[in-house]
Amino acid sequence: MMVMLANPAARERIDSGRERYFIKAGSRWPWSYVKRIGEPCRPPFPFYLAYAAAVLRDRGFEVRVLDGVALDLSNEEFIDRVLAHPPDLFLTETAMHSWRHDSLLLRELKARLPRLRIAVAGPHATAAADFILRNEPAVDIVLRGEYEFLAAEAAQILARGAAGDLRRPGIAFREGDGIWVSPEKGFVPDLDRLPRPAVELFPADGASEMSRYDDGICTYRPAVTLHSSRGCPFRCDFCLWNQVMYDNRAYRTFPPRRVVDEMEFVIEKFGAREIYFDDDDFCVSKEHVLEICAEIRQRGLKIPWSCMGDAMVTDEEMVREMAAAGCIFMKFGVESGDREILRNIQKPLDPEKAVQVSRWCRRHGIMTHATFVLGLTGETRESMRRTLRLAHRIRFDYAQVSIATPFPGTRMHDKLVDQEIIPSTDWGSFDGTRACAFSTPELPGEEIAAFRRKFIRSLILHKIIDHGWWRNYLRRNIRLYREYGPGKVLEPLIALFRLSE
């Protein structure tokens, strides 16, 4: 039995030269951006698909991979590649903002391959399993939550010709004229059970091209994404991944020795020149971080690495040890500069701690990327202005400013419904870089989106007078120019002029 793990591209043409491109697998929040038609995408690495591929391969299945996002394939090109080697089971991650495009492609695949079994996964499929199965006849199976072992279990059942046995925890499927949805979700309590992710299969046909992937903060190519943990003990009410995919269950870590083994593997196998730890929160456990850093130094491993961390529990000792072990870049979430908003969303962050962490990182040579979210629970015009004032004080090098999106399955969504503030029924608007999917009597969605544009312009202009920022910016851009060319260097200015798109 052959299983294809796929990530089809989804796009909307803007004009003769530009298109809006949707990011799904590999990202904890669905987003899109505008690019030139034919321009490489370089999306984040679809790590769940890679783990699922490894589990399926270990169970004896023939596994093929087709990442149409990384390859920038049109629907026609994507379908042609599937038809060239028709699978028995086709599995893809989908997202709320791209569902309209994804479902059209799945219908076309089903029309061309009527016997093909199609399964979908990811947070949108997890939250909307019943809706998808009732409204999209092309989809046969939905895998809810962490789906690596669920994918193998479903494939084994189908290989035996016993589709009726799919009544298993974490699986939803169409059963005759009815729908069966497991109330449970897939969960991997012991991460060490997972095999090493099958990075070598991506983006397609076993021809590994890691240079096609990029998280945006990585400086050197090829950069390879790894994980050292899953989950997060914090309970932000807007967080899609922690609430929907993990059900707010336990934070878990891979053994530090295994983490560094995988670092060595990708260096030797793929010539990795940078590693990005795309954990939900790399810095949750100080002991875990320090053990990884000690293992890296003990082995004499010399490779720059980056991580998704936080400003809540990180202290200067952790920052110092990370820098000594090769860390050159850290992301962390600030979200809001208003203490009341942070209490509303249950994020245990003192805004002043974000200022302090950015200073520690600059002191020890780690560049930073801070994230802010507008439109959070209880947001007002003054709280947004307070967030902007805080952002001006944080010594970050790069930033992301997004719009809070009330995805079904999150407490933020439930709060809005309880307040009789019904989010948009246009799933395409559930895109935190593009639009606000709701309005409150105090704060219209259009005003939140407009303030985001103002916020980004203000941040870029403010950095012009930050001498430390210029030092880091110029030093990094010499490297970026050598690795990527002038386009990467000009990204901040391009962002400034693309805000109206």
**For the segment 34-77, what is each residue's pLDDT rounded down to a tens digit?**
889 988 888 999 999 999 999 999 999 999 999 999 999 999 99
What are the DSSP calls for 331-367, one per residue?
Answer: EEEEE-S-HHHHHHHT----HHHHHHHHHHHHHTT-E
Residue 494: predicted pLDDT: 56
* Burial zone of 158 (CB within 10 Å; 0-12 exposed, 13-18 middle, 19+ buried): buried
DSSP-based three-state secondary structure for 329: strand
Residue 211: predicted pLDDT: 85
**Residue 143: how many other CB atoms lie within 10 Å:** 29
What are the DSSP calls for 362-430, one per residue?
Answer: HHTT-EEEEEEEES-TT--HHHHHHHHHHHHHS--SEEEEEE----TTSHHHHHHHHTT-PPPS-GGG-
Residue 500: predicted pLDDT: 41
Helix (H) or strand (E) holding 11: strand 11-13
What are the DSSP calls for 114-137, one per residue?
Answer: TT-EEEEESHHHHHTHHHHHHH-T
DSSP 8-state symbol, 280: S
Residue 497: predicted pLDDT: 46
Residue 498 reports pLDDT greater than 60 = no
Q: What is the largest CA-CA distance in the chain?
A: 66
**% residues pLDDT > 70 (the chain):** 97
Helix (H) or strand (E) holding 223: strand 223-226
**Cα torsion through 342, 343, 344, 346, rounded to 10:** 90
* Burial zone of 316 (CB within 10 Å; 0-12 exposed, 13-18 middle, 19+ buried): middle
Residue 366 reports pLDDT greater than 70 = yes
Residue 315, C-beta contacts closer than 8 angstroms, at least 6 positions apart? 286
Q: Please tell me the pTM assigned to this model.
A: 0.93
- Token pair for 7: 């990530």
Residue 402 reports pLDDT greater than 90 = yes
Residue whose pair of structure tokens reads 């010399």 in the numeric block: 302
DSSP-based three-state secondary structure for 467: helix
pLDDT band at 496 (very low <50, low <70, confident <90, very high): very low
